[in-house]
Amino acid sequence: MTDAKPPIDFWFDFSSPYGYLLSEKIDALAAQYGRKVRWHPILLGIVFQATGSRPPADGVSSKGKYMLHDFHRSARFMGIPFNPPSRFPLPTQNAARAYYWLHGQDCALARQFAHATYRAFFVDDLDISSPDTVLDIAEKLGVDRATLAAAMKSPEIKARLKDECEQALAAGVFGSPHVIIDGEAFFGADRLPQIEHWLKTGGF
């Protein structure tokens, strides 16, 4: 009996459009090749501060205008619903904290929450920075609102998110989405074909 293949690590921020696009595809693709995916929501603000980077899509510069256009084009190309949020980007610590608490209770439920949160922002234009919005999303999945509200404020969950951000930086993560397969890093939703080829061939 052979050992199970190691999981793929998927690092992302809930305010990342390309993170949203990849989140809709990565699990199904990994499953085709007998892999599971570990999801790691992080805070790009902390990553950018540590790496000296800045958000790429300011909507004013030529690069920013291009990327805003490309969000739409990439979503169409990948067949994923996309409605540009009216407030962008947003702080996502509340959503990330909720995810990690839910993950400690039920991994599948946490994954459902992550998808619902991404879609709430990039399809329904909801303010996912708001604790109430995050709690609304979780409550619709059957999560007890009061319990989650308390957990999101707990020192343990705040420390968990901080630790995940530190782990991301240690792993060389500098943006979202960032996928690491057997030590090989892929940045961006447009790397999906390369990710598939890597999984299929075992490396190239």
Token pair in block for residue 61: 């510069």
Domain boundaries, the chain: 8-201
Pick the CATH number of 8-201 from 3.20.20.140, 2.60.40.10, 3.40.30.10, 3.90.1820.10: 3.40.30.10
> How are beta strands 37-41 and 8-12 bridged, if at all?
parallel
Q: How far apart are CA 194 and CA 204, in angstroms?
A: 9
Query: What is the structure's pLDDT at 1?
Result: 43
pLDDT digits (tens, 9 = 90+) for 83-103: 999 998 899 999 999 999 999
Locate 190 and state its tokens.
């447009």
Q: Where are the beta strands (DSSP E) in 71-181?
A: 178-181
Contact between residue 22 and residue 189 where contact means Cβ atoms under 8 Å apart: yes
Outline where DSSP puts E strands in the chain: 8-12, 37-41, 178-181, 184-187
**CA–CA distance, 72 with 197 (Å, rounded to integer):** 25
Q: What is residue 60's predicted lDDT score, i.e. its pLDDT? A: 65
| Residue 133 CB contacts under 8 Å (≥ 6 apart), including other chains | 120, 126, 127
Mean residue pLDDT of the chain comes to: 93
Query: Rounded to two decimals, what is the model's pTM?
Result: 0.92
Q: How is residue 148 annotated by DSSP?
A: H
Number of residues that this document lists for the chain: 204
Q: With contact defined as beta carbons under 8 Å apart, do 179 and 185 qualify? A: yes
Partners of 40 in beta bridges? 11
Which three-class secondary structure string do you get for 44-92? HHHHHHHHCCCCCCCCCCHHHHHHHHHHHHHHHHHCCCCCCCCCCCCCC
Cα dihedral 195→178→87→152 (10° resolution): 120
- pLDDT tens-digit readout, 169-197: 999 999 999 999 999 999 999 999 999 99
pLDDT above 80: residue 119: yes
Could you report the per-residue pLDDT of 56-80, keeping only the tens digit for each? 666 567 888 888 899 999 999 999 9
**Amino acid in the structure at residue 195:** I
Which helix (H) or strand (E) covers residue 23, if one does?
helix 17-23
